[in-house]
Amino acid sequence: ETFEAYVADTNQGPFLRSGDLGFYRDGELFVIGRLKELIIIRGRNHYPQDIELTVENSHPALRSSCCAAFSVEVDNEERLVITQEIEQAFLEELNVNEVFAAIRQAVFQEHALQVYGILLLNPGTIPKTLSNKIQRRACQTGFLNGSLNTFASNISQTANLTTQQEYFDCKILLEASPEQRQALLKSYLQNSISRILKLEPSQIDWQQPFTTMGLDSLMAVELNNVIEASLGCSLSSTLILDYPTLNTLVDYLMAEVATPSTSDRLEVKSPSSSLVTLQSGGSQPAFFCVPGSVGTPFYLHSLAQCLGSDQPFYGLEARGVDGKVEPNTQIEEIAADYIAAIQTIQPQGPYFLGGHSFGGKVAFEMSQQLQKQGHDIGLLAIFDIPAPLPNQEIRVELDETQSMVEIAALFARLRGKNLQIPHTSLAALAPEEQVNYVIEQLQINNIMPAELAKPQLRGIVKVLQANLKAMANYAPQEIHPTRIAFFRAGELNSWDAATWLPESIHQQANYGWDKIAIASLDTFVVPGDHVTMMVEPYVQNLAKHLKVCLSKAQATVSAI
């Protein structure tokens, strides 16, 4: 691997694989670091130099060129650690909590990363080479064995994720005395936030912004959904941004939910509501996106974020994901439900739609039904699924055990991880034991939050089976040509190749969508496979092309 490296496209070699990272600019090669020092968190690459510069600029007490960023494994997950020298002049009157907060806030804002541990070091003590280069590996070793010359430290205490939260809803609040309500609400929110951040509840500061504790945008959506589900109400998708501390969030919920006179003001969230706000605001027309066959749009948040804050983005959640109702089994029914949901916020076209995998066929059917209603389709974005043509039939059948195996593997891939649960081992368990085991494995490997309950997993299993059946039986009776942008995954995962994508389909460059498009089909081959193309780091490339397609489509619609 080290001494016999060959260039992939020309097969030149052998070369020595040095492990250095660099880039060319104006014909010059700049060596910037080592491959072994690359930080990979949630499947995304982060360069330590970038994080270190952010840290050094976050507070005047921090010495320049005296910082090391690296990762350590905590509970089977890579977590970020910062070691940073402080200036001699600040030693006597340094407010270390202020410095810790500044570092966490800066790293979150610039890199969307949660900092697990911070060590402030005494001046002149960070390990360096004779040529004055930071020794990141030595800093990592010193952090792990406690040998660094530390002035102050701040390490997140990992929460016990097996602790179950007691049942909590708005009724509990309203039945408590006015004096008890605030304490109950604060305790509930502390516990909810601690599980999402994987921290002990005692580390959730009353006044500290959530972002300084590492709450990223995906976690904020998760927290918003948890609060809505528990309190039985519909809240703004920007709730966590509008009320960024536990103090302000409790005050808002006390005024709007936790008093008898105001609790009925909020819209009660319907169990069958399918519209999920992933990004609100912005001046662009809304983009509505249908997720794959598991029916939950949580993984689409990365795409929404990469499109930019000016692009409103809504996901569509399948009926039955919550385990409370039976899912639809026909694509035509699913599309009709989703159209009713999006028209609650946008009654008229043009509509900008998208769909990943199975969701691509649903989005296509939505475009057909909307056109029959007299609405224009500004753009239909299809993410890696063949067109619904007679010669493009896809048929996949999974029993309940196989479904749980595939769901666990899929969620792992979306988190940049590999989780293989042997079908034979799972099949040997009773149905209740199967559910418990899969949930346990997802939580142990930090793939799904503790809030994932048995009804939800059973609901997702039913949705997956219903959607696979719907896909196999779908044959559009009438086709209205549509403006389409097709995004094809550049890599082929072995599971995808063996199941939903037969060789006869894979050989066609655009999977048959050119026969349905209203004009020339825009086709893009993007990095990643059928699943990973939708998440970091590959989703950035997909979002770049989709953003251009949306802009062109919006300009065309405006011109007409």
pLDDT tens per residue across span 271-323: 346 888 888 778 899 999 999 998 988 788 889 888 988 899 999 999 888 77
Contacts of 276 (CB under 8 A, 6+ apart): 297, 314, 315, 316, 317
Residue for token pair 């001699």: 88
Please tell me the predicted confidence (pLDDT) of residue 400.
Answer: 82
- Whole-prediction pTM: 0.61
The tokens 């969230």 sit on which residue?
Answer: 269
Residue in this structure with the two tokens 């009320």, named with its chain if needed: 243
Contact 415, 447 (CB under 8 A): yes
Tell me, rounded to whole angstroms, the distance of Cα 108 from its chain centroid: 15
* pLDDT beneath 50: ranges in the chain: 159-167, 262-272, 450-451, 497-498
Q: For residue 169, give the amino acid letter.
A: D
Strand stretches in 96-226, DSSP E = 115-121, 150-155
The CA distance from 500 to 486, in Å, is 17
DSSP annotation of 265 = G
CA–CA separation, 112 vs 106, rounded Å? 9
Amino acid sitting at position 66? C
- Residue 91 dihedral angles phi and psi, to the nearest 5°: -60, -45
**How far, in Å, are 11, 72, 287, 303, 321 from residue 350 at the CA level?**
50, 49, 11, 21, 29
Residues 6 or more apart from 45 whose CB is under 8 A from it?
38, 39, 537
Round to whole Å and give the CA distance between 106 and 111: 8
Of 435, 467, 465, 449, nearest in space to 229 by CA: 449
pLDDT at 445: 65
Q: Which long-range contacts (CB under 8 A, 24 or more apart) does 203-209 make?
A: 203/156, 203/157, 204/246, 205/246, 206/245, 206/246, 206/247, 207/245, 207/246, 207/247, 208/101, 208/245, 208/246, 209/105, 209/244, 209/245
The type of residue at 175 is E
**From CA 312, how far away is CA 278, in angstroms rounded?**
8
Q: Residue for token digits 């005395």?
A: 177
Cα separation, 104 vs 236, in Å, equals: 26
User: What confidence score (pLDDT) does residue 263 get?
Assistant: 40
How many helices, marked H, and strands, marked E, lie in the chain? 18, 15
Residues ≥6 apart with Cβ < 8 Å to 387: 364, 511, 512, 513, 515, 516
Rounded Cα gap, residues 337 and 244, in angstroms: 34
The residues pairing with 84 across neighbouring beta strands, listed in sequence order, are 67, 120
b vs e for 480-515, b when ≥16 Cβ sit within 10 Å of the residue's Cβ? eebbbbbbbbeeebebbeebbbeeebeeeebbbbee
Query: Around Cβ 56, how many Cβ atoms within 10 Å?
Result: 18
pLDDT computed for residue 447 by the predictor? 64
Instruction: State residue 6's pLDDT score.
Output: 92
Closest CA to 301 of 219, 196, 379, 364: 219
What b/e readout covers 3-23, taking b as 16+ CB neighbours within 10 angstroms? eeeeeeeeeeeeeeeeeebee
- What is the rounded CA–CA span in Å between residue 130 and residue 118? 25
CA–CA separation, 300 and 184 (whole Å): 33
Single-letter amino acid, residue 222: E
The answer to whether the beta carbons of residues 279 and 270 sit under 8 Å apart is no
Please give the distance of CA 284 from its chain centroid, rounded to a whole number: 22
Q: Which residues pair with 411 in a beta bridge?
A: none
∠ Cα 266 268 273 (to 5°): 130
Q: Which letter does DSSP use for residue 173 in this model?
A: H
Does 312 sit behind a cis peptide bond, omega within 30 degrees of 0 on the bond before it? no
Dihedral angle over CA of 501, 502, 507, 511, nearest 10: -50
What Cα–Cα distance (Å) separates residue 362 from each residue in 10, 30, 317, 342, 514? 42, 48, 12, 14, 18
